């Protein structure tokens, strides 16, 4: 199962804060895809995910100034 969070148009730190909330709601092993356009989140989300034991499975620019990150929830 997978989940998606659309944080496009939201200023930092909202993409990271909403990611934290979304991860709390999914089960271990579930993948969450976050779509966002806040440049600071390109560093904040992967750093937080690594610190919390979640695996980044995809990280790419999807448009000019728009990114997507997928992470798999760790234990």
53: left (phi over 0), alpha (psi -120 to 50) or beta: left
Helix axes 14-25, 41-52, angle to 10 degrees: 30
SS3 at position 65 = coil
Distance CA 13, CA 63 (A): 21
* Active site amino acids: 12
């Amino acid at each position: 199962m997978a989940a998606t969070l659309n944080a496009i148009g939201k200023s930092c730190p909202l993409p990271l804060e909403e990611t934290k909330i979304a991860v709390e709601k999914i089960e271990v092993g579930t993948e969450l895809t976050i779509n966002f356009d806040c440049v600071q989140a390109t560093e904040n989300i992967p750093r937080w995910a690594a610190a919390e034991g979640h695996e980044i499975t995809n990280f790419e620019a999807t448009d000019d100034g728009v990114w997507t990150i997928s992470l798999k929830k760790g234990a």
